[in-house]
Structure 1
Amino acid sequence: MAITFYNLQKWCRMLTGKSIQHVNQGLGKAFSISELKGYYNDLTEKVSESQELDSEGIPLLTVDSGEKIYFPIMIFQYGLGAYDLYLLSDDKSMFEKAKKCADWAMEFQNKNGSWDNFAYEFPDHPFSSMAQGEATSLLLRLYETSKDERYLSAARKAIDFMLLDINNGGTTEYLGEDIFFHEFTHKPVVLNGWIFSIWGLYDYNLVCGTSETKKIFEKTVQSLVNHLDAFDNGYWSMYDCAGMITSPFYHNLHIAQMKAMYAITHNAKFQEMAEKWSEYQQSIINRSRSFIKKAYQKILE
């Protein structure tokens, strides 16, 4: 990443929680583990007055060049946050916001079930398991509320593409008994993206899963449990399995995700990691050390 005034501003906004992409995302406030209700982490702060929208109410992302683009993950998260606000307040305007995002998802879904999530930055690697999973979560919530079969059909296509082998153009890596979901198909596994993808599959299984998709869910959760220690460096959590440390935002997100995964699976490993990473936060030495390392890694990008 080049050291420019623009990038320094962006980095500061991320650290202070003033970036719309890096607002607080704690444990979801309205989710259920037995039926489809709210989302598993709290995306409601995404639905903010500071969020730039187009004339139809769809979020826009301003990239480094200054261009405004439609970034699918941002749109899906905005929709999920709005849906939670609808559940929490019975505010019909929030439901309409979520519906607009789900309708956008259907309109711009490729025939193979994918979305060109990273096309603006990685044109040769546009797909993301995280986009597929979060779109599935949003579409299924609209289906459960409206019973409009179009949302269910789009969700099925989204999961089918997500589970396609990465070697065949999909976003899932099948390696022996391990199953990894790739937020970036050309990069190492990213922890938060893997979990967002898992939640999409979990939602799918709640609504219309098959024995095969349920088996894949069980295998990828076990893979996550088996590899969680690789995302811990002894004083902070890691962004990916290749040694990239997290910012404070992603560290907080990881803790919330561990709590949600424990609620969903009752696997004690997730509770253990949530407690360990929470303890890391209490140490000013750990916080300072992680900040310095993260800043250094950003400069080298």
Structure 2
Amino acid sequence: MGEVSENEAKNILKNSRRLQNEKKYSKAIEGYNIVLGNKNMPKSIINEAKICKLLAERKVPVLDKYSFLPEYMNIGKNGVDYYKSNKCNYTLYEEYDPVKKYFNYQPDWAYLESPSFKYDKNGIPMVKYNGKFYYNAVTICQYALYLYDGYMDTGVNKDKFLNTADFLIKSIKKDGSLRYEFKFGYYECLNEGWASSMSQGQALSVFTRAYHLTKNSKYINAGQRVLKYLLTPVSEGGVMDTLGALDKSLEDKIFFQQYVGKTSTYTLNGYIFTLIGLYDWSSVRCLPNIYYSNMAKRYWNKGLLSLKYILPYYDIGNFTSYDLYHIIKNGPPSSSDFYHCIHIEEMNVLYNITKDEYYKNIRNMWISYVKN
């Protein structure tokens, strides 16, 4: 089929979505290709077909509540403009090893003291919130990984890295969580004592490397406690959710929430940082950790399966969204130039680990949105 009208394209798109949800993926893709072959169509139609096709290629259904709204393009354009004006950049490593450098490059200037960032007397970073300095578990984990990367490059920072890892151990609560003792305004206010999957996951990445350097069992014990809490369902006070808020048919698929509130938001960057933590911990195969290593591997695989069902929805046509709140609440997407870089790096590390070309293709597509 050649040129089609806008109304015809809408009907083809609607029919293809129906076929996709009947598991007739090849037929659905044929329809999407017809729409995508007509570049004169409104961008919202083209992009909806693109997203649905990406899902169909993975042989998964499309959410009934999903549609690509025209305003997504303006939000994406603003994101691209900010990206270029702020001269954002990403770093792509060619391989990933749980006991070598972390995949997320961090520049030295990120850890310079400022009015909102300082170190305590023991060299542990603190961040200012609401006029007061607090420990932030993710910041501490990322600082530890930054130090470890420096050790890999130059042989220095080993003691600083282990000192930071030991501080994390002291910060673990009885239930295995790493808590935030300040209020945080997200879509809704998170009160003091909130927890995040991202800090749990990145702590696993830190403890993996600390154990590799020292073979000290305290890092095994710490990682096991952190893992147990990470795998605690939200319904029981934990951070492991399901995809059920997107569609009831997905209630058997897991998701690790970076922010746990009344509304499931499905933040992408924190989710993948968490998965990398699981992957790292699965590599710790010493005898006392075999059970937990296997458990981490199992949930790493479960997490990748969930990603298969939702990853394309983070694409807003010419940029990426921070989370899926716009689908849950049918509102405008949240986007960030900084997190678009993170998303690119995360697709790259998933490709390096799994060798699945799908992640490589998504990575390249998201790079193309901001390439000069």
Smaller-chain TM-score bracket: 0.7 to 0.9
Bigger Cα displacement from structure 2, 171-180 vs 39-48: 39-48
Do residues 215 (structure 1) and 330 (structure 2) align?
no
Q: Post-superposition shift, 1:49?
A: 3.2
Q: Post-superposition shift, 1:95?
A: 1.4
Do residues 68 (structure 1) and 153 (structure 2) align?
no
Do residues 245 (structure 1) and 334 (structure 2) align?
yes
What does residue range 143-154 of structure 1 map to in structure 2 within 5 Å?
143-154=211-222
Q: Post-superposition shift, 1:256?
A: 0.8
Do residues 276 (structure 1) and 341 (structure 2) align?
no
TM-score using structure 1 length = 0.80
Counterpart-to-counterpart distance in 2, 1:72 and 1:109: 10
- Residue identity opposite 1:154 in structure 2: A
What does residue range 42-191 of structure 1 map to in structure 2 within 5 Å?
42-45=105-108, 48-50=111-113, 52-63=118-129, 65-91=130-156, 94-117=157-180, 119-121=182-184, 122-123=190-191, 126-175=194-243, 176-186=251-261, 187-191=264-268
Q: Is the 8 A contact 2:320 2:335 kept in 1?
A: yes
Do residues 254 (structure 1) and 343 (structure 2) align?
yes
Gaps of 5+ in 2: 1-81, 185-189, 244-250, 286-291, 327-332
**Which of 166, 173, 198 is matched with 2:275 structurally?**
198
1:6 maps to which residue? none
SS at match of 2:258: coil
Identity of aligned residues (%): 28
Counterpart-to-counterpart distance in 1, 2:363 and 2:141: 26
- Residue identity opposite 1:234 in structure 2: G
Counterpart-to-counterpart distance in 1, 2:336 and 2:173: 33
CA RMSD across the alignment: 2.3
Bigger Cα displacement from structure 2, 111-120 vs 225-234: 111-120
TM-aligned CA distance change 1:103 to 1:25, over 3 Å:
farther
Do residues 236 (structure 1) and 304 (structure 2) align?
no
Q: Post-superposition shift, 1:24?
A: 6.2
Number of residues paired by the alignment? 260
TM-aligned CA distance change 1:179 to 1:222, over 3 Å:
same
Q: Is the 8 A contact 2:281 2:293 kept in 1?
A: no
Q: Could you give the per-residue CA deviations for residues 201-221 of structure 1, whole angstroms, max 9, x where no partner exists?
A: 001101144444322211111
Counterpart-to-counterpart distance in 2, 1:118 and 1:126: 7
TM-aligned CA distance change 1:221 to 1:105, over 3 Å:
same
Q: Post-superposition shift, 1:87?
A: 0.6
Mark the structure with the bigger radius of gyration: 2
Q: Could you give the per-residue CA deviations for residues 88-135 of structure 1, whole angstroms, max 9, x where no partner exists?
A: 1111xx112211211110111101110113643222660100000011
TM-aligned CA distance change 1:45 to 1:192, over 3 Å:
farther
- Residue identity opposite 2:215 in structure 1: K
Q: Could you give the per-residue CA deviations for residues 262-293 of structure 1, whole angstroms, max 9, x where no partner exists?
A: 1011122211111111111136xxxxxxxxxx
Q: Is the 8 A contact 1:61 1:68 kept in 2?
A: yes
TM-aligned CA distance change 1:74 to 1:84, over 3 Å:
same
Gaps of 5+ in 1: 1-11, 18-22, 284-301
What does residue range 16-27 of structure 1 map to in structure 2 within 5 Å?
16=86, 26-27=91-92
Q: Is the 8 A contact 1:137 1:203 kept in 2?
A: yes
Counterpart-to-counterpart distance in 2, 1:219 and 1:170: 17
Counterpart-to-counterpart distance in 1, 2:109 and 2:342: 14
Q: Could you give the per-residue CA deviations for residues 5-51 of structure 1, whole angstroms, max 9, x where no partner exists?
A: xxxxxxx9xx848xxxxx9663458x634x52221211353663335
Counterpart-to-counterpart distance in 1, 2:155 and 2:209: 15
Counterpart-to-counterpart distance in 2, 1:205 and 1:46: 32
- Residue identity opposite 2:101 in structure 1: G
Counterpart-to-counterpart distance in 1, 2:133 and 2:340: 28
Q: Is the 8 A contact 2:242 2:252 kept in 1?
A: yes
